[in-house]
Amino acid sequence: MTYAVQTMVDAVSVGALYAMSALGIGLLFGIMRLINFAQSEFVTVGVYTLMLSAGLWFPFAALLAIVVVVLLALAVERAAFRPVRDADPATLLITSFAVSYLLQYALVLIFGARPIGFDLLPQLGQPVLIGEVRIPRLNIVTIVVTVVLMAAVALFLRRTRIGIEMRAAAVDFRMARLLGVRADRVIAVAFGLSGLLAAVVSVLFAAQTGTASPAMGLQLALVGFVATVIGGMGSLPGAVLGGLAVGAVTVLLQAVLPPDLRVYREAFVYAAVIAVLVLRPQGLFRSAAMRERV
Amino acid sequence: MNRLGRLVFGSTLAAPAALFALSALGGSAAQAEDTVTVGFPVALSGFVAPYDDGPRKAALLAIDDINAKGGLLGKKIVTVEADTKSDPGQGATAATEVLSQGAKMVMVTCDFDFGAPAALVAESQNVIAFSSCAADPKFGVQGIGKNAYTMSTTTISQGSTLADWAFKESGFKTVYLLKDTMVEYTKSLCDSFETRWTELAGADSIVGRDTFHGMNDTSIAGQISRLKATDPQPDFVMFCGAINGASAVRQIRAAGINLPLVASESMDGAYWLESVPNLSDFYVAVYGSVFGNDPEPAVNDFVKRFTEKFGAPPVTGHALTGYSVIEAWAKAVERANSFDTDAVRAELDKFNGEQLLIGKTSFSPELHINVDRPMLVMKIVDGKHEPVGRFVTEKLPEIKF
C-alpha cells in the first residue's frame, strides 16, 4: 500500500518537471508556431551557469542563471530566428536544430563532454516523511513552482498589455500587426519568458541531478514537445497536463511492468501517446488559435 | 552553377588535392631512416574526446620513456594525430590520414563503435590497430580482423570478478541489481555479474532488480521507491551505471538509501563525486588508482610522471591502457626485431601473462582482449578513494562473439 502511494507521489513529481519544461515550449509554439529545439540548451546553459556559481549564495546563483538564460534566449531570437521569421515553419525548425547543435557543441568546446559534478541545494534532496511515504522536498518545490509559474504566465497573458498583444499575435499574427502590435517586441518577450522558464527548470534539474553535461536538457525538451502535442498545440494548460501525464505514465509503467519488459518502457509510453493522438487528434485541449474559423 | 554549388564542388575537388599534397609531404618526412611513426586517429574533440584524452596522453608518456632510452630498434618514435571528431564516420578518414603519413601502428578510440572504423582501415592496410579500452571482445580477430587488439579487460570478466569479490571477500549474501540500459557496457556488466553471482549464491539471493536509462530517465524516483520497498533489504546494490551514473547515485543517497553500492570502471574517477558530497560505502573496480595510493608502486610512479608532464593527474585509470598499448607494441617489436606487421603480430599473440603497467596481459591468435587480468577494487569513504586490493574471478567467463 505504501509502495502504491509512494509511486503516485513519484509519478506527480516526475510529471511536474516535464510539465514545467512543456510550459516554456508550449508558450513559444502558441505565439510563433515555432518548435524550438534549442529550448533544451537553454536549460543546459542554465545548469552550467549554476555549476560555475556553485558555492555562491543560492539566490544570487539562481538569479545569475535566470539572467544568463534570458539574455541567451533574447540573443538567439535576435541573431537566429528574426532573420528567418517570415520563412515557413520547416525553416524555423531547422534553424532551431542548428542553434541547438551550436550551443551544445559550444558547451563541449568550453567545458568538455565529461559530466561535471556539483552540489546545489543538497537540503532539497532530503525527504519529508508523511507516515511511511517519502516526499523529497525538491518534488514539493517542483510542484509548487510549476503551479505558481503557470498561474503567473496565465495572468500575464490575460492582464498585461503585452500579454494581450501576445495572445492576439497567437491568434492571427498578421492581423495583430495591422492593428499596431509590434511584432519584434511580442516575440522578444515570448523568448524572454521561455528563457525564464528554462532557467527555473535548470535550477530544479540541477538540484536533482547534481551534474552538468552538454546533452542533459535533451530529454526534458523532447518530453516537453510530446507534452505540447498531446496537450493540444498552443494550449498552455494542455502543455502542463501533457507533461504531467507523460511523467506519470512513465513512472507508473516502471512500477507495474515486469523486469523483462521494463527495458522497453519507452515503447509503451509512446504507444500511449499515439493512442491519445488517435482518439483526440487535436490533443487533450484545443486552443482558440488553432480552431478553424470559416 | 550557383554560389553554394561552386562552394561545395570547389571544396570537394580541392580538398583531396590538398590532402594528397599534405600526405606526400608528411609521408616523406615520416619515412626518414631514423624514426618510426605511431598514429593516433582518436577523438580530439567532441563527445568522446574526454575518454580518449587520458589514454592518448599516457601513450605519449610511454613514447617519451622509450625515446629517452634510445628509441625502438634504434629509431626515435614520432607521433601523428588526426581528429575523428567523435564521429564514427570520421574515424576512417582520420585513420587514412595517419596511415598515409607512414604510421606503423595506430591507437584508436576507447570504444568499439567509435574505434572500429579506424581499426578497419588499418586492417585493410595490414597495420596493427590497438584500442586503448574498448571492452567488447569483438574488438579483435572476430569482429575486425587479425591486426585489431584492445588493452581492455573484457566487460564480462569485470562483472564476474565483482561477483567473486562481493561474495567471497566482502561476505555479502544478497544483492539488488540496478542496471543502466543506455549502453551495452553496463548491460553486459550486470548480466555477467548475475551469471557468476547466481553460481556462487543461488538465484534466491537476488532480492530484486530494476533498470533505468542514463539519458532518458531524468529522475529515478520510481526505481528508488522499488528499492526502498524491497523486503528484506539486500546486503548491497550492484550498480551498473555509466556516464550519468552520478545523478542516480545522488538521488539514491538523497533518498536515505545508505546500502553499499558496487560499480565498475565506468564509475572510476573523482570528477563526479561533487554530485554526492561525502559519499561512502561505494566500491568501484578500476584498472588502477589515479590517486597515488595504488598497491602497485609502478602505477603511482606513472601517475606522478603523468601529472608532471601534463599538469594534472589522469581523470580515470583508463589512462593506464594507453601507456600499456605502447609498452605491448614496443615489446613485440623488440622481440620480432622488426616493424613488420606480421612479425609483430606473431609476437603479440605469444603474450602470456606479460607484465605491463596495466597488469598481466595475454593474447592469442584467437583472442585479442584480456579476460584474466585482476582489477583493483577501491572503496570510497567520505568522498576519498581507498584501495582494497586486486582481484580476478576464479571462474573465467566464456567469451561469446
What pLDDT shows up at residue B28?
45
Taking contacts as CB-CB distances below 8 angstroms, the residues of chain B near A127 are 254-256
What pLDDT shows up at residue B25?
45
Q: Nearest CB to A254: which of B49, B223, B273?
A: B223
Using the Cβ of B143 and the Cβ atoms of chain A, whether some distance falls under 8 Å is answered with no
- d(CA A122, nearest CA chain B) in Å: 8
Residue with cell 507521489: A9
Q: Nearest CB to B246: which of A17, A113, A211?
A: A211
Topology of domain B155-286+375-391, CATH: Rossmann fold (3.40.50)
What is the DSSP annotation of A23-66? HHHHHHHHHH----TTHHHHHHHHHHHHHHTTTS-HHHHHHHHH
Q: Nearest CB to B222: which of A139, A210, A255?
A: A255
Pairing of strands B359-361, B354-356: antiparallel
What pLDDT shows up at residue A249?
92
The amino acid present at B299, given as its one-letter code, is V
Taking contacts as CB-CB distances below 8 angstroms, the residues of chain B near A126 are 254
Mean pLDDT for each consecutive 10-residue tract of chain B (401 residues)?
39 42 44 84 93 95 95 95 93 95 95 93 95 91 94 93 95 94 90 94 94 89 90 94 90 91 94 92 96 95 96 95 96 95 95 94 94 94 95 86 73
Task: Let me know the angle formed at the C-alpha of B262 by B381 and B181, rounded to the nearest 5 degrees.
Answer: 135
The answer to whether the Cβ–Cβ distance between B223 and A125 falls below 8 Å is no
Q: Per DSSP, which regions of B161-264 are E strands?
A: 175-180, 206-212, 236-240, 261-263
Cell of residue A153, nine digits: 504566465
Residue ranges of chain B that CATH labels 3.40.50.2300: 33-153+299-361, 155-286+375-391
- pLDDT band at A183, cuts 50/70/90? confident
**Contact predicate B373/B320, CB 8 Å:** no
* Helices (H), ranges, chain A: 2-32, 39-52, 58-76, 89-111, 137-159, 161-171, 173-178, 183-209, 218-231, 236-256, 259-262, 265-279
Q: Nearest CB to B216: which of A108, A209, A266?
A: A266
- d(CA B86, nearest CA chain A) in Å: 11
Cα gap B214→B244, rounded to integer Å: 6
The answer to whether the Cβ–Cβ distance between B218 and A127 falls below 8 Å is no
Q: Nearest CB to A10: which of B221, B273, B315?
A: B221
**Contact predicate A140/A10, CB 8 Å:** no
**Contact predicate B186/B266, CB 8 Å:** yes
What pLDDT shows up at residue A287?
61
Taking contacts as CB-CB distances below 8 angstroms, the residues of chain A near B256 are 127, 134
Cα gap A282→A291, rounded to integer Å: 9
Count other Cβ atoms within 10 Å, centred on residue A80: 17
Task: Pick from B218, B231, B273 the residue to mutate for testing the A interface (most A CBs within 10 Å).
Answer: B218
Task: Pick from A51, A211, A223 the residue to mutate for testing the B interface (most B CBs within 10 Å).
Answer: A211
What pLDDT shows up at residue B110?
93
The amino acid present at A231, given as its one-letter code, is G
What pLDDT shows up at residue B262?
96
Using the Cβ of B221 and the Cβ atoms of chain A, whether some distance falls under 8 Å is answered with yes
- d(CA B393, nearest CA chain A) in Å: 27
The answer to whether the Cβ–Cβ distance between B221 and A139 falls below 8 Å is yes
Cα gap B310→B324, rounded to integer Å: 18
Cα gap A229→A238, rounded to integer Å: 9
Cα gap B37→B99, rounded to integer Å: 9
The answer to whether the Cβ–Cβ distance between A117 and B47 falls below 8 Å is no
Q: Is A89 exposed, middle or buried (0-12, 13-18, 19+ CB in 10 A)?
A: exposed
Using the Cβ of B211 and the Cβ atoms of chain A, whether some distance falls under 8 Å is answered with yes
The amino acid present at A176, given as its one-letter code, is A
Residue A179: alpha-carbon gap to chain centroid: 31
Q: Nearest CB to B254: which of A18, A136, A213?
A: A136
Q: What phi, psi does B76 have (nearest 5°)? A: -80, 135
What is the DSSP annotation of B21-36? HHHHHHHHHHT-TTEE
Taking contacts as CB-CB distances below 8 angstroms, the residues of chain A near B46 are 105, 108, 113
What pLDDT shows up at residue B200?
94
What is the arithmetic mean of pLDDT over A23-31? Answer: 85
Task: Pick from B225, B226, B276 the residue to mutate for testing the A interface (most A CBs within 10 Å).
Answer: B225
For chain A, the straight-line distance linking the first and the last C-alpha, in angstroms and rounded, comes to 53
Cα gap B273→B303, rounded to integer Å: 20
- d(CA B264, nearest CA chain A) in Å: 17
What pLDDT shows up at residue B396?
83
pLDDT(A31) > 80: no
CA count, 13 A, side-chain hemisphere, B43: 29
What is the arithmetic mean of pLDDT over A115-141? Answer: 83
H or E stretch covering A128: strand A127-130
The answer to whether the Cβ–Cβ distance between B276 and A116 falls below 8 Å is no
What pLDDT shows up at residue A60?
93
Q: Nearest CB to B221: which of A13, A115, A209?
A: A13
What pLDDT shows up at residue B202?
93
Cα gap B81→A19, rounded to integer Å: 46
The answer to whether the Cβ–Cβ distance between B256 and A115 falls below 8 Å is no
Q: Nearest CB to B271: which of A109, A116, A134?
A: A116
Taking contacts as CB-CB distances below 8 angstroms, the residues of chain A near B277 are 119, 122
Condensed to tens digits (0 to 9), the pLDDT of residues A160-179 reads 999 888 888 877 888 888 98
What is the arithmetic mean of pLDDT over A65-88? Answer: 92
Which architecture does CATH list for A2-290?
A: Orthogonal Bundle (1.10)
The answer to whether the Cβ–Cβ distance between B254 and A134 falls below 8 Å is no
Q: What phi, psi does B208 have (nearest 5°)? A: -175, 165
Q: Is CATH 3.40.190.10 the right assignment for the domain spanning B33-153+299-361?
A: no
pLDDT(A242) > 50: yes
- d(CA B146, nearest CA chain A) in Å: 32
What pLDDT shows up at residue B11?
40
Q: Nearest CB to A113: which of B49, B223, B276?
A: B49
Using the Cβ of B271 and the Cβ atoms of chain A, whether some distance falls under 8 Å is answered with yes
What pLDDT shows up at residue A290?
55
Condensed to tens digits (0 to 9), the pLDDT of residues A114-125 reads 999 999 887 777
The answer to whether the Cβ–Cβ distance between B50 and A13 falls below 8 Å is no
The answer to whether the Cβ–Cβ distance between B274 and A118 falls below 8 Å is yes
What pLDDT shows up at residue B165?
96
Cα gap B214→B181, rounded to integer Å: 7
Pick from B264, B317, B325: which is nearest to B293 by CA?
A: B317
Taking contacts as CB-CB distances below 8 angstroms, the residues of chain B near A211 are 244, 246-247, 250, 272, 275
**Contact predicate A26/A231, CB 8 Å:** yes
What pLDDT shows up at residue A168?
85
Q: Nearest CB to A251: which of B181, B221, B255?
A: B221
Q: Which residues contact A237 (CB under 8 A, 6 or more apart)?
A: A150, A231, A285
Cα gap B362→B199, rounded to integer Å: 26
Task: Pick from B42, B47, B188, B219 the residue to mutate for testing the A interface (most A CBs within 10 Å).
Answer: B219
The amino acid present at A110, given as its one-letter code, is I
Collapse the DSSP code of B134 into the 3-class scheme (helix H, G, I; strand E, B; otherwise coil) and give the result: coil
Collapse the DSSP code of B216 into the 3-class scheme (helix H, G, I; strand E, B; otherwise coil) and give the result: coil
Q: Is B35 exposed, middle or buried (0-12, 13-18, 19+ CB in 10 A)?
A: middle
Cα gap B247→B225, rounded to integer Å: 16
Window 321-380 of B: residues touching A by CB (8 A cutoff) are none
Pick from B32, B22, B283: which is nearest to B161 by CA?
A: B283
Using the Cβ of B278 and the Cβ atoms of chain A, whether some distance falls under 8 Å is answered with no
pLDDT(A79) > 70: yes
Q: Which residues contact B328 (CB under 8 A, 6 or more apart)?
A: B130, B149, B151, B348, B351, B354, B356, B361
Cell of residue B75, nine digits: 629509431
**Contact predicate B147/B364, CB 8 Å:** no
The answer to whether the Cβ–Cβ distance between A210 and B48 falls below 8 Å is no
Q: Nearest CB to B251: which of A105, A116, A208?
A: A208
- d(CA A14, nearest CA chain B) in Å: 7
